[in-house]
A and B are shown apart, each in its own frame.
Chain A
């Protein structure tokens, strides 16, 4: 095959056995503007709660189907750990949605669309068993690998976003984001390894990256605008690109430069997710996260 990539270089020391953690978060005391003084950045991060429940349930749904294609036992164990972690992420973010509704910002109009996107548009479709069905499965596995590149990027960012602490962000929300981010960093190689194992074609990798990146930008800006326009406490708020650049410079959102730099990283033929982020940092956070250690109870 002409598009066979040169073997990507995984960093061996970054491998961990993956296990789902039973988490518990209590949203009662979290305000709508959990990041004081910057509702734009807070709402941009809130878009995660809109996309992840449906998105990560979809990951689980797809990965359950791909298990029979895995011939490597270690990878299979990783994928099984990955599935459980993603199922818990979906459930944890899902619990934030009723709280947003209680605070006067009903996310249902948006989440119903995201549900449609993942359940219908990206669902199983009615395909005959055989090549068509396998093609669609591999396409989705590749899409997940591309999306996981960004979740690992965001996870690494949130673990190091000290500015959020300095601004007095709500500790419960910060713990949810960092627990999730840390698990994303911990399992950042799985989706890519799985894609390389079952398909690995460079053209598919580039194509699905473009789809995933376009869809993420589209959904994210739309979610931020949705939140700002429907926020009962901000009658005249509008999302602008300028706010996004400023928030990136101040460190309350990932910077535009870092995002742009992550594009050639993923498209490089020698890319492997273990080359970025630190498993040690992620595991250290998970060991001390209140939500991941028996939960928080009054």
Chain B
């Protein structure tokens, strides 16, 4: 008798639990696990985008302007650039120079560099209208800080990140001026668009006015942000001419991934205080493993990300194509990247 009661009670409880569960699960198939508030999966900043080239024009001599479209292109802010994966697999960075309010559409401009590393030659030869292009999501390391006034300096194709900034500054009612240098008017893109801004824009073609006169920069009020994108000598001159180098924002053409010759340097392992000498003919990882044999790594080619470690001090010469800009701020891949200075401190 007692046994029958127990069996009935257990069966009843099981039946009731099953019905309750069914009802809960019916309301949501995902009851009852907690969820991570900021999900990690499926939000990889390393994901690839695919866009179609819907227009290809030549706004100036040797400059190619491409308009790319896809439904799911992420939003971007002025100063952002995208990594473009060229058909051969080469990856190159180009600033976005279109209108950020146009969802699903990116515009980039590429100057042909005949004696360059081949990226622009391939882009000019092979990127045709109607073709599909692989991109990585936009990143911004040249973002416009809110201010009442700005000074922009652009050299040649360096106008590309500045162009959307001018529109944003105008829309925000800020006071701004632009110095735009180049070799000749025929080689300087977007002059017609800039003409609409009137005397806020000073065009300085080298064949008419010589090297750009940066003396107006000396009169800039301290604290006014100066944004400069152009060839290396121009940026050095802007840094020298500006009264307050701390408010100068620079965007370099050359990607950090450009692999120069390997130089020896020293790594300090912060936790033990040990110093390791990295020779010119070995990787940072190999040197660190002499001291710490259990340092995790795997592919040794900079694609799996296992050997990513925190950098506490020193300039890194990033030679991978995996880490995002945010990750590059304070970490590196030991297997391929090296020091840009003579010394690095790692959190190891």
Q: Are B41 and A97 in contact (CB under 8 A)?
A: yes
What CA separation (Å) do A60 and B296 show in the bound complex? 10
User: Which A residues lie within 8 Å of B297 (CB)?
Assistant: 80
User: Which A residues lie within 8 Å of B131 (CB)?
Assistant: 298
B31-44 Cβ-contact flags toward A at 8 Å (1 or 0): 00111110111101
Tell me if A130 is interfacial: C-beta within 8 Å of chain B: no
Q: Are B41 and A116 in contact (CB under 8 A)?
A: no
Interface SS of chain A: helix, strand, loop or mixed? helix
> Which 7 residue pairs of A and B lie closest in terms of their CB atoms, listed nearest first?
A84-B298, A97-B42, A112-B35, A115-B36, A112-B39, A64-B296, A111-B41
| Contact A20 B303, CB 8 Å, known A80-B298, A109-B30 | yes
Stretch of A138-146, A191-199, A221-229 with 4 or more beta carbons under 8 angstroms from chain B: A221-229
Q: Are B301 and A116 in contact (CB under 8 A)?
A: no
Q: Are A95 and B134 in contact (CB under 8 A)?
A: no
User: Which B residues lie within 8 Å of A117 (CB)?
Assistant: 33
User: Which B residues lie within 8 Å of A102 (CB)?
Assistant: 71-72
User: Which A residues lie within 8 Å of B85 (CB)?
Assistant: 297
User: Which B residues lie within 8 Å of A113 (CB)?
Assistant: 30, 33-36
Q: Are A108 and B39 in contact (CB under 8 A)?
A: yes
What CA separation (Å) do A134 and B204 show in the bound complex? 68
Tell me if B132 is interfacial: C-beta within 8 Å of chain A: yes
Q: Can you list 13 pairs linking A and B with CB atoms under 8 Å apart?
A: A57-B40, A60-B306, A68-B294, A83-B296, A83-B298, A87-B305, A91-B44, A94-B44, A113-B36, A116-B33, A119-B36, A297-B87, A298-B87
User: Which B residues lie within 8 Å of A225 (CB)?
Assistant: 29
Tell me if B47 is interfacial: C-beta within 8 Å of chain A: yes
| Contact A94 B30, CB 8 Å, known A26-B50, A80-B298 | no
| Contact A54 B305, CB 8 Å, known A84-B299, A87-B298, A110-B30 | no
Q: How far is the CB of B338 from chain A (nearest CB, A)?
A: 20
Q: Are A115 and B40 in contact (CB under 8 A)?
A: yes
Tell me if B89 is interfacial: C-beta within 8 Å of chain A: yes
Q: Are B40 and A119 in contact (CB under 8 A)?
A: yes
Q: Which residues of A contact B (CB under 8 A)?
A: 19-20, 22, 26, 28, 50, 53-54, 57, 60, 63-64, 67-68, 80-81, 83-85, 87-88, 91, 94-95, 97-98, 101-102, 107-117, 119-120, 222, 225-226, 229-230, 294, 297-298
Q: Are A87 and B304 in contact (CB under 8 A)?
A: yes
Q: Are A297 and B305 in contact (CB under 8 A)?
A: no
Tell me if B23 is interfacial: C-beta within 8 Å of chain A: no
Tell me if B252 is interfacial: C-beta within 8 Å of chain A: no
Tell me if B200 is interfacial: C-beta within 8 Å of chain A: no
What CA separation (Å) do A294 and B48 show in the bound complex? 15
What CA separation (Å) do A113 and B35 show in the bound complex? 4
Q: Which of B276-318 contact A (CB under 8 A)?
A: 294, 296-299, 301, 303-306
Q: Pick from B36, B71, B87, B301: contact of A112, CB below 8 A.
A: B36
Q: How far is the CB of B24 from chain A (nearest CB, A)?
A: 13
